[in-house]
Amino acid sequence: MKIYIDGKFLPESEAKISVFDHGLLYGDGVFEGIRFYNGRVFRLEGHLDRLWDSARAIALTVPLTREEMTTALLETVRQNELRDGYIRLIVTRGIGNLGLNPENCKGASTIIIAASIALYPEEQYRRGLDVITCGTRRMAAAALSPQVKSLNYLNNILAKIEAMQAGAGEGLMLNEQGYVAECTGDNIFVIKRGGLMTPPISAGGLRGITRDVVIEIAKELGVPFHEPELTRYDIYTADECFLTGTAAEIIPVISLDKRMIGTGKPGPETARFTARFRELTQSSGTPIY
Ligand code: PMP
């Protein structure tokens, strides 16, 4: 595997960063998870927009231009001779000292890893996920906006630990007001009486790229779409529920807190959205080769 670090393609054994990098010391940095299918990068522009927004929000200057970043990203996939996989793009604050002050960092570092992807097992897509509500609340936007895809994922990790300990496939995170925000690494949607709903971004979830694609598909299919504030009631009483994310794509949810959702099986609307999503991933995107 060849990994890009600051302009160089290094073998995995040499792809290392300093112990003084503030990305490691403080989670001070931003990242993106990007998929490529069939030799094309899916929604590259959306991911780059979000990376630049995340960086700007934490006053971090991305050390490459958009064009340079695109070139580096495509070249990393080419160096690894992959056609289908996952890209992890990371920009850290760079090497500083043991103090917090980012001004002591000499310059941001860019890391790009392209790999084949391990999805949830196929069985989970066929059967659907069991989800539990986590006690850990999604952090407040006034503390650190959930829109910043930062290297500090502890809020999500604490919730993920709860879900794992409960034997669930994913954990639902509420915001401080008790409204549904998102899951630990995915956005959540419900289908009710033929309409599609997801919490508004103001409820504290990340504006997922896959979320945007699903909303576009709803418009295309003529499925009514709303973004009301949701409580767990809306999920318990939904006809269908699914999660969306770059890695997970669209994955059905069949229970919340051990209460069956709909028929307790992945539903027909979820299947319809998944089929259209798969078509888009196979037929659109930025060519790599
Ligand atoms: N929420 C969180 C907290 C995430 O980390 C992610 C990305 N895995 C998502 C939602 C889904 O976003 P996207 O569709 O852009 O991958």
| pLDDT tens digits along 221-267 | 999 999 999 999 999 999 999 999 999 999 999 999 999 999 999 99
Residues 201 and 250 in one domain: yes
75, 98, 115 - which closes a domain: 115
In a domain, 178, yes or no: yes
Residue 276 sits in a domain whose CATH number is 3.20.10.10
Q: What is the mean pLDDT of residues 111-132?
A: 91
Residues 29 and 111 in one domain: yes
DSSP calls for the chain: -EEEETTEEEEGGG----TTBHHHHH--EEEEEEEEETTEETTHHHHHHHHHHHHHHTT---SS-HHHHHHHHHHHHHHTT-SSEEEEEEEE--B--SSS-GGG----EEEEEEE----S-HHHHHH-EEEEE-SSPPPPTTTS-TTS-BS--HHHHHHHHHHHHTT-SEEEEE-TTS-EEEESSSEEEEEETTEEE---GGGS----HHHHHHHHHHHHHT--EE-----HHHHHT-SEEEEEETTTEEEEEEEETTEEPTTSS--HHHHHHHHHHHHHHHH-SEE--
Q: Is the CB of 251 under 6 A from ligand 1?
A: no
Q: Is the CB of 76 under 6 A from ligand 1?
A: no
115, 148, 180 - which closes a domain: 115
Q: What is the mean pLDDT of residues 120-148?
A: 95
Ligand 1 geometric centre to CA of 147 (Å): 10
Residues 110 and 74 in one domain: yes
Ligand 1 pocket, mutate which of 148, 246, 280 (most atoms under 8 A from CB): 246
| pLDDT tens digits along 23-66 | 999 999 999 999 999 999 999 999 999 999 999 999 999 999 99
Residues 56 and 126 in one domain: no
In a domain, 188, yes or no: yes
Q: What is the pLDDT of residue 120?
A: 76
Q: Is the CB of 46 under 6 A from ligand 1?
A: no
Ligand 1 geometric centre to CA of 22 (Å): 23
Longest dimension (CA), the chain: 57
Looking at the 3D structure of the chain, how many domains does it have?
A: 2
When pLDDT is cut at 50, 70 and 90, the band that residue 129 belongs to is: very high
Residues 209 and 249 in one domain: yes
Task: Given the residues 149, 192, 258, 265, select the one marked as catalytic.
Answer: 149
When pLDDT is cut at 50, 70 and 90, the band that residue 121 belongs to is: confident
List phi, psi (to 5°) of 222. Answer: 70, 25
Q: Is the CB of 29 under 6 A from ligand 1?
A: no
Range of the domain at 104: 2-115
Q: Is 160 among the residues known to form the active site?
A: no
Spatial separation of the C-alpha atoms in residues 230 and 247, rounded to whole Å = 24
Ligand 1 geometric centre to CA of 104 (Å): 31
Residue 99 sits in a domain whose CATH number is 3.30.470.10
Query: CA Rg, the chain, in Å?
Result: 19
Q: Does pTM top 0.95 for this prediction?
A: yes
Residues 71 and 160 in one domain: no
Average pLDDT, the chain: 97
